[in-house]
Structure 1
Amino acid sequence: MIQAKTRWNLAPWDEQANAAAIELSTALRLSPLAAKLLVQRGYREVAQAEQFLRGGSEHLHDPYLLKDMREAVTRIREAASAGEKVRIYGDYDADGVSSTSLLVHVFRELGLHFDYYIPHRALEGYGLNKAALEKAAAEGVGLIVTVDTGISAYDEIAYAKELGLDVVVTDHHEPPARIPDACAVVNPKRHDCTYPFEGLAGVGVAFKLAQALLERPPMELTDIVCLGTIADLMPLTGENRILVKSGLERLRQTTNTGFLALAESTGIELPSVTSTTVAFGMAPRINAAGRLDHARRAVELLISDNYDEAILAATSLDMLNRERQRIVEGIVKEAEEQWAQKQVQAAEAGEAEPAVIVLAGEGWNVGVIGIVASKLLERHYKPVIILGIDGESGMCKGSARSIDGYDLHAALTACDELLDHYGGHQAAAGMSLHRDQLADFERQLGKLALEWLSEQDWIPKTGIDLECKVEEANLQTINELAQLEPFGAGNPSPRLLFQGAALADKRTMGKEAKHLKLTVKSGQAVLEAVGFSMGAIADRLLASSPVDLVGELSINEWNGQRKPQLHIHDLFSGGAYARFPEREHFGQVYQLLRRMKRAPLEGLAKRLAEMSGWPQEMTEVMLRVFTELAFIRIEDGFAIVAEAPEKRELSTAPSYQEAKSKAEQLQSPLFAATILV
Structure 2
Amino acid sequence: MLQSQYRWRIAEPDRYVSDELARELQVSPLLASLLANRGVDTPELARSFLHGRDESLHDPFLLLGMEKAIPRIREALERKEHILIYGDYDADGVSSTALMIHLMKRLGASYDIYIPHRSNEGYGLHNHALDWAHQQGVSLAITVDTGISAVEQIAYASALGMDVIVTDHHEPPAVLPEAYALINPKLPGCPYPFKGLAGVGVALKLAQAILGEVPAEWFEIAAIGTVADLMPLHDENRTIVRRGIESMRASAFPGIESLLQISGVDMAAVSSVNIAFALAPRINASGRLDHAGRAVALLTTEDAEEADKLAHELDLLNKERQQVVNDIVHQAVDMLEAKMNGSGLPPVIVLAGEGWNVGVVGIVASKLLERYYRPTIILDMDPETGNCKGSARSIPGLDIYEALTDCKELMHHFGGHPSAAGMSLHRDELELFEQSLHRFATARLLPEHFVPVAEADAECRLGELNVSVAEQLELMQPFGMANPSPRLVLRKLQLREARKMGKEKNHLKLVLEQDGSTLDVVAFGRGELADFLQPGSLVDVLGELSINEWNGKRSLQLMLQDIQITASQVFDFRGEANPVALIERYIRIFHQASADQAPVAALVHSTSPFRKAGSLNDGRIWVYDKTGGILPENDSAGLMLKDTVRTVFLLDPPETKEQFNALWMTFRRVENIVVMHSINGYQGRLEAPDREQFKRIYVLLKKMGPGPLDEKTMLPALSRQCSISMRMMSKVLEVFEELGFVHRAGGELSFVPNPPKKELTASHRFHELNETAEMERYLLDAETSQLASWMMSRLKGAS
- TM-score bucket of the superposed structures, by smaller chain: 0.7 to 0.9
Residue 79 of structure 1, aligned match among 71, 76, 80: 76
Q: How many residues align?
A: 570
Tell me the distance in 2 between the aligned counterparts of 1:535 and 1:363. 34
Q: Secondary structure at the match of 2:44?
A: helix
Q: Contact conserved, 1:541 with 1:573, CA < 8 A, in 2?
A: no
Match of 2:418 in 1: 426
Tell me the distance in 2 between the aligned counterparts of 1:145 and 1:419. 27
Q: Contact conserved, 1:57 with 1:217, CA < 8 A, in 2?
A: no
Question: For 1:167-201, what per-residue CA distance to the aligned partner results, in whole angstroms no more than 9, with x for missing partners?
Answer: 11111111122332222211111111111111111
Instruction: Tell me by how many angstroms 1:545 deviates.
Output: 4.9
Q: Secondary structure at the match of 1:164?
A: coil
Match of 2:203 in 1: 206
Match of 2:576 in 1: none
Question: For 1:233-267, what per-residue CA distance to the aligned partner results, in whole angstroms no more than 9, with x for missing partners?
Answer: 11111111111011111111112121123234443
Tell me the distance in 2 between the aligned counterparts of 1:398 and 1:87. 28
Q: Contact conserved, 2:248 with 2:270, CA < 8 A, in 1?
A: yes
Match of 2:368 in 1: 376
Question: For 1:362-403, what per-residue CA distance to the aligned partner results, in whole angstroms no more than 9, with x for missing partners?
Answer: 111111111111111112212222111101011221211122
Residue 486 of structure 1, aligned match among 478, 481, 487: 478
Tell me the distance in 1 between the aligned counterparts of 2:368 and 2:446. 21
Q: Secondary structure at the match of 2:61?
A: helix
Q: Contact conserved, 2:255 with 2:299, CA < 8 A, in 1?
A: yes
Match of 2:112 in 1: 115
Match of 1:518 in 2: 510
**Matched ranges for 1:9-158 at <5 A:** 9-13=9-13, 17-158=14-155
Residue 570 of structure 1, aligned match among 562, 573, 578: 562
Q: Secondary structure at the match of 1:336?
A: helix
Q: Contact conserved, 1:211 with 1:217, CA < 8 A, in 2?
A: yes
Tell me the distance in 2 between the aligned counterparts of 1:86 and 1:533. 48
Instruction: Tell me by how many angstroms 1:63 deviates.
Output: 1.0
Q: Which amino acid aligns with 1:391?
A: P
Residue 455 of structure 2, aligned match among 459, 463, 477: 463
Match of 2:349 in 1: 357
Match of 2:320 in 1: 323
Question: For 1:580-629, what per-residue CA distance to the aligned partner results, in whole angstroms no more than 9, with x for missing partners?
Answer: xxxxxxxxxxxxxxxxxxxxxxxxxxxxxxxxxxxxxxxxxxxxxxxxxx
Residue 509 of structure 1, aligned match among 500, 512, 531: 500
Question: For 1:3-23, what per-residue CA distance to the aligned partner results, in whole angstroms no more than 9, with x for missing partners?
Answer: 21111111133xxx2121122
Tell me the distance in 2 between the aligned counterparts of 1:184 and 1:517. 56
Tell me the distance in 2 between the aligned counterparts of 1:575 and 1:3. 10
Q: Contact conserved, 2:18 with 2:33, CA < 8 A, in 1?
A: yes
Q: Which amino acid aligns with 1:508?
A: R
Tell me the distance in 1 between the aligned counterparts of 2:510 and 2:266. 30
Q: Bigger CA drift: 220-229 or 545-554?
A: 545-554
Q: Which amino acid aligns with 2:100?
A: L
Match of 1:279 in 2: 276
CA distance 1:575–1:416, change in 2 (3 Å): same
Q: Which amino acid aligns with 1:552?
A: E
**Matched ranges for 1:147-226 at <5 A:** 147-226=144-223
Tell me the distance in 2 between the aligned counterparts of 1:217 and 1:27. 35
Residue 543 of structure 2, aligned match among 551, 560, 564: 551
Q: Which amino acid aligns with 2:494?
A: L
Instruction: Tell me by how many angstroms 1:542 deviates.
Output: 6.1
Q: Which amino acid aligns with 2:12?
A: P
Q: Which amino acid aligns with 2:3?
A: Q
CA distance 1:138–1:277, change in 2 (3 Å): same
Tell me the distance in 1 between the aligned counterparts of 2:287 and 2:507. 36
Instruction: Tell me by how many angstroms 1:473 deviates.
Output: 1.5
Larger relative contact order (CA 8 Å, sep ≥ 6): 1
Tell me the distance in 2 between the aligned counterparts of 1:561 and 1:379. 38
Tell me the distance in 2 between the aligned counterparts of 1:75 and 1:262. 36
Q: Contact conserved, 1:6 with 1:462, CA < 8 A, in 2?
A: yes
Q: Contact conserved, 1:400 with 1:428, CA < 8 A, in 2?
A: yes
Q: Contact conserved, 2:358 with 2:390, CA < 8 A, in 1?
A: yes
Q: Secondary structure at the match of 1:33?
A: helix
Gaps (5+ residues) in structure 1?
578-662, 664-677
Q: Secondary structure at the match of 2:220?
A: helix
**Matched ranges for 1:525-536 at <5 A:** 525-536=517-528
Q: Secondary structure at the match of 1:36?
A: helix
Q: Which amino acid aligns with 1:502?
A: L
CA distance 1:384–1:535, change in 2 (3 Å): same
Q: Which amino acid aligns with 1:518?
A: L
Q: Which amino acid aligns with 1:3?
A: Q
Instruction: Tell me by how many angstroms 1:535 deviates.
Output: 4.8
Tell me the distance in 2 between the aligned counterparts of 1:518 and 1:264. 30
**Matched ranges for 1:297-316 at <5 A:** 297-316=294-313
* Cα RMSD, aligned residues only: 2.3
Q: Secondary structure at the match of 2:498?
A: strand
Instruction: Tell me by how many angstroms 1:454 deviates.
Output: 2.7
Residue 388 of structure 1, aligned match among 364, 380, 386: 380
Q: Which amino acid aligns with 1:75?
A: R
Q: Which amino acid aligns with 2:249?
A: R
- Provide TM-score, normalisation by structure 1: 0.80
Instruction: Tell me by how many angstroms 1:541 deviates.
Output: 5.0
Match of 1:473 in 2: 465
1:401 aligns with 2:398: no
Question: For 1:531-560, what per-residue CA distance to the aligned partner results, in whole angstroms no more than 9, with x for missing partners?
Answer: 344455556556555432111111122333
CA distance 1:434–1:83, change in 2 (3 Å): closer
**Matched ranges for 1:426-465 at <5 A:** 426-465=418-457
Q: Which amino acid aligns with 2:480?
A: G
Residue 270 of structure 1, aligned match among 267, 270, 295: 267
1:3 aligns with 2:20: no
**Matched ranges for 1:659-670 at <5 A:** none
CA distance 1:403–1:557, change in 2 (3 Å): same
Q: Bigger CA drift: 110-119 or 502-511?
A: 502-511
Q: Secondary structure at the match of 1:219?
A: coil
Question: For 1:378-431, what per-residue CA distance to the aligned partner results, in whole angstroms no more than 9, with x for missing partners?
Answer: 122122221111010112212111223233233334444543333333322222
CA distance 1:563–1:423, change in 2 (3 Å): same
Q: Bigger CA drift: 377-386 or 522-531?
A: 522-531
Q: Contact conserved, 2:498 with 2:533, CA < 8 A, in 1?
A: no
Q: Secondary structure at the match of 1:519?
A: strand
Q: Bigger CA drift: 437-446 or 454-463?
A: 437-446
Q: Bigger CA drift: 462-471 or 113-122?
A: 113-122
CA distance 1:532–1:94, change in 2 (3 Å): closer
Q: Contact conserved, 2:171 with 2:417, CA < 8 A, in 1?
A: no
**Matched ranges for 1:239-258 at <5 A:** 239-258=236-255
CA distance 1:260–1:531, change in 2 (3 Å): closer
CA distance 1:540–1:280, change in 2 (3 Å): closer
CA distance 1:139–1:540, change in 2 (3 Å): closer
Q: Secondary structure at the match of 1:108?
A: helix
Tell me the distance in 2 between the aligned counterparts of 1:261 and 1:158. 41
CA distance 1:522–1:256, change in 2 (3 Å): same
